Amino acid sequence: MSVCSLPEDAEDLLLHVCCGPCAIWPLESLTASRPNLRLLLWFYNPNVQPLGEFQRRRDSLAYLVAKLGGYNASLGVDFSPPYDPQTFLALAAQTPIAPERCFNCYSLRLKAAARAAKEKGVKYFSTTLLFSRQQNQELIIKAGREAELPGVTFYEEDFRLGWKKGRAAAKDLGLYAQKYCGCVYGAVETG
């Protein structure tokens, strides 16, 4: 099912991860099509409120990585990016209405991901946001392309093609499933 279009000689990729459930299928797809690819899972989500919700999503990724131990020797995970909701809230206050707010939310995270990739010498970056049917894929891709830096390229794949398998695997693993997108605005809109 994978439609991986990463160049054959791609050696590494920084994958921005929003939560554990959304990471399962992208990991499956990327490692199946490029078994030697070095993957760094990178967790930066200042858009998530409140702190307890952020912690649950972070813990779901940590649990998933622990479960996958040995699955891919080239798999790393980085939880060091700070939780700085003030950065997101200041941005959202300027454009509180979707979809502009969501575009800026994607952009904030993907620009940070591109900078992290650059610092680490990683040539490609992508995001598990591309797995979710609830997200605006067109805007995610636009934000990803705009975030590119010299020598750091955004990789886009329609991870939604693995939606059913990814969701079923997350359920089997008992991963925490969030009820809203992440921010307080989204929580209100979800009702």
**Chain positions contacting ligand SF4, by CB under 6 A:** 47, 98, 101-102, 105, 181-183, 185-186
Q: How far is the CB of 184 from ligand SF4 (least distance, A)?
A: 8
Q: How far is the CB of 97 from ligand SF4 (least distance, A)?
A: 10
Q: String of b and e for 16-51 (b: at least 16 CB within 10 Å)?
A: bbbbbbbbbbbbbbbbeebeebbbbbbbbbbbbbee
SS3 of the chain: helix, strand, coil, percent, to 5: 50, 15, 35
Other Cβ atoms within 10 Å of 53 Cβ, number: 19
Nearer to ligand SF4, 162 or 186 (CB): 186
Nearer to ligand SF4, 12 or 53 (CB): 53
* Cα distance between residue 79 and residue 44, in whole Å: 8
* Cα distance between residue 174 and residue 86, in whole Å: 31
Residue 82 dihedral angles phi and psi, to the nearest 5°:
-70, 155
Q: How far is the CB of 80 from ligand SF4 (least distance, A)?
A: 21
Q: How far is the CB of 127 from ligand SF4 (least distance, A)?
A: 11
Nearer to ligand SF4, 64 or 140 (CB): 140
Nearer to ligand SF4, 162 or 182 (CB): 182
Nearer to ligand SF4, 75 or 185 (CB): 185
Please say whether the beta carbons of 98 and 187 come within 8 A: no
Q: How far is the CB of 47 from ligand SF4 (least distance, A)?
A: 4
* Cα distance between residue 182 and residue 145, in whole Å: 23
Nearer to ligand SF4, 124 or 185 (CB): 185
Q: How far is the CB of 84 from ligand SF4 (least distance, A)?
A: 14
